[in-house]
Amino acid sequence: MKLEIKVAKRTVQRYMRPERLTRPSSNQNWDTFLKNHSKDVWACNFVTVTDALFGQLYAFFILQHSSRRIIHFGVTRHPNEQWVTQQLKEATPFEQRPKYLIGNNDAQFGRAFDALAESNGIKVLKTPIAAPKANGLCERFLRSLRQECLDHFLILNEGHLTRVLKEYVKYYNTLRPHQGIQQQIPVVPVQPAPTGGKNISFPVFNGLPQAYQRTA
């Protein structure tokens, strides 16, 4: 769809694994809420990274539910309450903020964080303990981040991790199609893809993943 190529249903079925049958759940309240308010929901979470000297680095991400777009990220060695609160402040400039923000019960999301969110009209939704599916989109992004990026790099320090994540977020937002949003990219380009021309691939991260586009 990103390249404006129409594929027959039979072709898709040939390469897709058979869908597993699941029993319908009797409680769909949370799923229904997320579907009805996806445009107004952001989610946030941490990922830990071990550097070359076995020190711990922490990357904080904020993701928009409706588009899967990464709104903001930050890197630190000391993710205290003041630092996390500052990240929320940087992610919500010029009245750009959601109605709901999904987070967990970590100590970093303290009173200052909740106070800033409340003053901006944001309702913080705390996920239950040991319930990763409650923040499923963010958890899925962190899995992609590790598999496609972090597992292939030896991180040296905060600056190195920041540069790597900056490149990955750019690729994730502007080039990487998402199955959950019908093979579309989170940030839709201003100019539509050309209808003619040749399909080309180009490397990202020195060839770690490949991106595709059509030439004019």
**Confidence at residue 198, expressed as pLDDT on a 0 to 100 scale:** 82
**Confidence at residue 53, expressed as pLDDT on a 0 to 100 scale:** 94
Structural domains in the chain, CATH included, are: 28-189 (3.30.420.10)
**Confidence at residue 20, expressed as pLDDT on a 0 to 100 scale:** 54
Residue 116 to residues 35, 110, 126, 149, 167: CA-CA distances in angstroms?
26, 10, 15, 32, 29
**Confidence at residue 182, expressed as pLDDT on a 0 to 100 scale:** 77
**Confidence at residue 95, expressed as pLDDT on a 0 to 100 scale:** 78
Pairwise CA distance, residues 41 & 103, whole Å: 11
**Confidence at residue 208, expressed as pLDDT on a 0 to 100 scale:** 81
- Averages of pLDDT over runs of 10 residues in the chain (216 residues) are 74 68 60 90 96 96 95 96 96 90 91 94 91 90 94 95 95 86 80 74 81 77
**Confidence at residue 156, expressed as pLDDT on a 0 to 100 scale:** 96
- Which distant-in-sequence residues (6+ apart) come within 8 Å of 140 by Cβ? none
